[in-house]
């Protein structure tokens, strides 16, 4: 398979930290419009893979292409974000001393240069988009709250909202339901399925219930490479997956 | 015009700007017009003293812009202040002309003393006030730009950046101490006579300098308010609180830092330029790392990230310094250290933060109360409302 007609294309990617191979000859392909769940034990390289895609970590070897043509290893975080890859961190990272609304204002796609932000005036259209997102992430009535005062689950949603505001083609979502109640988890699965109607999504998650609710193709990573790939039932019946991950 | 002003400055900022404009008018009037016996008369020494405090306050505002709002703790902002001061000092030296001790029409005294035959090239142009005024902002600005470009691009942050800024001012201190640098070495620049043709010792000149300082401080408050209340200001706070998140949102963090860092350095340069004619001397001790650290203390005491707090902090701490160093000179440094510890431990947002914390809590509580039920959407967005999803509580 070649990089054409794919949204995200990783081939033979490897990276080591002080001799430890965090990612080992990893290959993964994501089609446009696809949602994919990534599972795997701790240390399997899930977060490192996201670091590589978003430009935080440079791979030692291998190809990473976005949209079939853009070599992501040649760009930094800000450039990759502007290409249309948004990222939600494992630990919710919102701007705590800003209001919920201002968090979205910062994330909203638009000019990013220092001078254009200095003289920026919020347009009607931008306000509408922000309100739309506030409804989507169920935080409209908390829009003037400081983000610091939100609950853990609400912060996770706010961060997903910030991803939406960025209007990316591809969303990388790292453990979105960690620390959420069952009801919040179900709600988040619904939210992500809605989002996946118009964008591609890569979700890293440990919660098997959640992965099942997503109902998408699953890739299991182990020791930095792909162990198994397919439907959740197929993957969870794989003997090796049971051994390294599910069995324990 | 008024509307435009209030869009960019909050109420507290407007009050301070109005106050500064008022004292810019009233203090000189009182000094020049009221008889010495009047209880409202401000003596000339006090005019210069307060003028000096206000230049410190301006340095504090500049520092607050980078530290309070963008999280760049500079321990070398005194360097930009001193460079602005030197640029002004060079102009004042050239104004002395043939009235120096050695009566050389061109060369300042210290050059004659060192047996120099002609003016070094970097002293050219400083006989013109406007050239010097340009250098007051340009020299600190260019240095800050170069320094920031290297540091921010390499993602030097936190304590490492603070240490480099400290090294920067220390390096300049050592350089300016050397006689062959051409800035008067150890003694610096002094014995000024005139500024723009007016006797620098005269009460009227001092009053005008005071007024200029108050007005420039008001301008600094306005510029800083303008920046931090714009979207750029929100970006800066974002950088302060979660720098890498900002990058993943697509912001070139280094460029934002570079912009405010350079603006801040220019502001500090102007403060230094206003300081020198009012104290009558500029020498390398202004580059002392301790000066820059003191400026950080002013900001911390007043309340960082508040614009107004640093002004209060700078004026209060310096009043304290003036008093203590005269009354109990041996305990001043201990008092300053203790102050810093107390503020760091108990008042993370300084004097103004105390007030802000109380008010913020109240506002937040009110907002929560008010916003329990969402208002009708159509009124807010003007678009058909998206069906309200079921809350997941």
Q: For residue B241, list chain A residues with Cβ-Cβ distance below 8 A.
A: 95-97
Asked if B238 contacts A95 with a C-beta cutoff of 8 angstroms, the reply is: yes
Note the pLDDT of residue B353.
Answer: 78
Note the pLDDT of residue B128.
Answer: 95
* B391 falls within a domain: no
On average, the pLDDT of chain B sits at 90
Domain housing A181: 90-199
CATH label of the domain that carries residue A66: 3.40.50.300
Closest partner residue to B386 among A56, A76, A135, by Cβ?
A135
Residue written as token pair 């970590």: A57
* B233 falls within a domain: yes
Note the pLDDT of residue B6.
Answer: 83
Whether A62 and A2 share a structural domain: yes
* B246 falls within a domain: yes
Note the pLDDT of residue B369.
Answer: 67
CA A205 to chain centre: 10
* Residue A27 to residue A11: CA distance in whole angstroms: 4
**Radius of gyration of the CA atoms of chain A, in A:** 18
Domain housing B178: 7-368
* A24 falls within a domain: yes
Note the pLDDT of residue A209.
Answer: 87
- Dig out the tokens for B53 from the structure: 């405090």
Whether A111 and A185 share a structural domain: yes
Name residue B248's beta-bridge partners.
none
Number of domains forming the structure of chain A: 2
* A64 falls within a domain: yes
* B386 falls within a domain: no
Note the pLDDT of residue B1.
Answer: 74
Whether A74 and A98 share a structural domain: no
Q: For residue A145, list chain B residues with Cβ-Cβ distance below 8 A.
A: 364, 367-368, 371
The per-residue pLDDT for range B268-305, each reduced to its tens digit, is 999 999 999 999 999 999 999 999 999 999 999 999 99
Name residue A199's beta-bridge partners.
none
* B379 falls within a domain: no
Asked if B182 contacts B90 with a C-beta cutoff of 8 angstroms, the reply is: no
Nearest chain B residue to A78 by CA: give it: B250
Calculate the alpha carbon distances from B130 to B133, B194, B284 in Å. 5, 15, 24
Closest CA to B236 of A118, A230, A91: A118
With CB atoms and an 8 Å threshold, state whether B230 touches A77. Answer: no
Note the pLDDT of residue B375.
Answer: 40
Note the pLDDT of residue B370.
Answer: 61
Residue A217 burial class via C-beta count within 10 angstroms: exposed 0-12, middle 13-18, buried 19 and up: middle
Whether A96 and A65 share a structural domain: no
Note the pLDDT of residue B384.
Answer: 34
For chain B, the residues whose C-beta falls within 8 A of a C-beta of chain A are 227, 230-232, 234-235, 237-238, 241-242, 244-253, 255-256, 259, 364, 367-368, 371-374, 377, 380-383, 385-386, 388-389, 391-393
Q: Which of A93, A108, A114, A192 to mutate to test the interface with B (most CBs of B within 10 A)?
A: A114
Whether A53 and A106 share a structural domain: no
* B376 falls within a domain: no
* A204 falls within a domain: no
The per-residue pLDDT for range A176-225, each reduced to its tens digit, is 888 888 888 998 898 888 888 889 999 999 888 899 989 899 999 999 99
* B380 falls within a domain: no
Whether A187 and A222 share a structural domain: no
Q: Coil, strand or helix: which one is A5?
A: coil
Whether A19 and A57 share a structural domain: yes
Asked if A204 contacts A46 with a C-beta cutoff of 8 angstroms, the reply is: yes
Global pTM? Answer: 0.88
* B375 falls within a domain: no
Nearest chain B residue to A159 by CA: give it: B245
B91: confidence class by pLDDT, cuts 50, 70, 90: very high
* A240 falls within a domain: yes
- State the average pLDDT over residues B204-228: 96
Q: Coil, strand or helix: which one is B254?
A: helix
Closest partner residue to A105 among B234, B245, B251, by Cβ?
B234
* Residue B102 to residue B41: CA distance in whole angstroms: 39
Whether A157 and A99 share a structural domain: yes
Asked if B300 contacts B63 with a C-beta cutoff of 8 angstroms, the reply is: no
* A211 falls within a domain: no
Nearest chain B residue to A91 by CA: give it: B245
Asked if B280 contacts B84 with a C-beta cutoff of 8 angstroms, the reply is: no
Does the pLDDT at position B386 exceed 60?
no
Whether A158 and A236 share a structural domain: no
Does the pLDDT at position B24 exceed 90?
yes
The series of mean pLDDT values per 10 residues for chain A, 248 residues long, is: 80 91 92 92 89 94 91 93 91 91 93 89 92 92 94 90 92 89 89 89 90 92 91 90 78
Q: For residue B235, list chain A residues with Cβ-Cβ distance below 8 A.
A: 106, 114, 117
Q: Which residues neighbour A202 within 8 Å (Cβ) at sequence distance 6 or greater?
A: A8, A30, A35, A36, A38, A50, A53, A170, A171, A172, A173
A 10 A CB-CB count for A83 gives 17
Does the pLDDT at position B381 exceed 50?
no
* A140 falls within a domain: yes
Does the pLDDT at position B392 exceed 80?
no
On average, the pLDDT of chain A sits at 90
Q: For residue B246, list chain A residues with Cβ-Cβ distance below 8 A.
A: 106
Does the pLDDT at position B374 exceed 50?
no
A 10 A CB-CB count for A100 gives 29
Backbone angles phi, psi at A80, to 5 degrees: -65, -40
* A210 falls within a domain: no
């Amino acid at each position: 398979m070649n990089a054409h007609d794919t949204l995200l294309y990783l081939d033979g990617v490897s990276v080591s930290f002080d001799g430890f191979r965090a990612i080992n000859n990893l290959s993964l392909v994501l089609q446009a419009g696809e949602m994919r769940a990534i599972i795997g034990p701790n240390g399997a390289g899930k977060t490192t893979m996201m670091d590589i895609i978003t430009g935080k970590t440079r791979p030692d070897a291998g190809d990473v292409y976005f949209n079939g043509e853009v070599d992501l290893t040649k760009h930094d975080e800000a450039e990759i974000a502007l290409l249309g890859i948004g990222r939600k961190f494992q630990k919710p990272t919102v701007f705590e001393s800003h209001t919920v609304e201002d968090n979205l204002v910062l994330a909203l796609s638009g000019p990013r240069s220092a001078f254009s932000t200095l003289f920026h005036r919020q347009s009607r259209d931008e306000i509408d988009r922000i309100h739309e997102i506030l409804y989507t992430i169920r935080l409209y009535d908390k829009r003037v709250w400081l983000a610091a005062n939100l609950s853990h689950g609400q912060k996770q949603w706010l961060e997903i909202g910030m991803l939406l505001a960025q209007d990316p083609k591809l969303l990388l979502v790292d453990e979105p339901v960690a620390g959420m109640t069952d009801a919040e988890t179900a709600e988040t699965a619904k939210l992500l399925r809605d989002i996946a109607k118009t964008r591609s999504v890569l979700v890293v998650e440990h919660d098997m219930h959640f992965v099942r609710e997503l109902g998408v193709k699953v890739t299991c990573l182990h020791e930095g490479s792909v162990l198994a790939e397919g439907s959740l039932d197929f993957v969870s019946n794989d003997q090796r997956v049971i051994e390294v991950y599910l069995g324990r | 015009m008024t509307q435009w002003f209030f869009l960019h400055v909050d109420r507290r900022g407007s009050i301070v700007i109005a106050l500064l404009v008022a004292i810019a008018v009233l203090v000189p009037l009182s000094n020049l017009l009221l008889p010495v016996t009047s209880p409202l008369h401000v003596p000339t020494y006090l005019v210069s003293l307060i003028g000096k405090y206000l230049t410190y306050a301006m340095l504090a505002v500049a520092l607050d812009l980078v530290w309070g709002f963008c999280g760049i703790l500079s321990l070398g902002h005194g360097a930009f202040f001193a460079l602005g001061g030197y640029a002004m000092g060079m102009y004042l030296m050239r104004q002395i002309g043939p009235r120096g001790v050695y009566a050389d029409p061109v060369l300042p005294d210290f050059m004659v003393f060192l047996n120099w035959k002609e003016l070094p090239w970097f002293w050219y142009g400083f006989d013109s006030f406007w050239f010097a005024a340009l250098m007051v902002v340009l020299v600190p600005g260019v240095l800050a730009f170069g320094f920031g470009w290297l540091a921010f691009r390499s993602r030097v942050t936190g304590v490492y950046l603070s240490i480099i800024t400290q090294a920067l001012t220390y390096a300049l201190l050592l350089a300016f101490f050397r006689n062959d640098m051409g800035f008067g070495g150890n003694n610096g620049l002094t014995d000024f006579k005139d500024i723009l043709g007016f006797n620098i010792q005269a009460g009227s000149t001092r009053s005008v300098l005071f007024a200029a300082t108050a007005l420039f401080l008001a301008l600094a408050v306005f510029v800083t308010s303008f920046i931090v209340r714009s979207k750029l200001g929100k970006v800066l706070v974002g950088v302060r609180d979660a720098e890498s998140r900002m990058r993943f949102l697509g912001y070139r963090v280094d460029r934002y830092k570079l912009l405010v860092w350079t603006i801040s350095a220019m502001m500090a340069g102007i403060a230094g330029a206003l300081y020198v004619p009012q104290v009558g001397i500029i020498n390398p001790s202004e580059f002392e790392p301790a000066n820059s650290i003191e400026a950080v203390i002013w900001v911390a005491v007043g309340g960082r990230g508040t614009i107004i707090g640093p002004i209060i902090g700078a004026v209060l701490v310096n009043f304290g310094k003036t008093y203590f160093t005269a009354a109990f000179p041996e305990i001043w440094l201990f008092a300053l250290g203790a102050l810093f510890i107390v503020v760091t431990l108990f008042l993370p947002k300084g004097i103004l933060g105390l007030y802000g914390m109380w008010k913020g809590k109240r506002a937040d509580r009110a907002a929560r109360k008010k916003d329990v039920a969402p208002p009708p959407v159509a009124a807010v967005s003007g678009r058909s409302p998206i069906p309200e999803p079921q809350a997941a509580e």
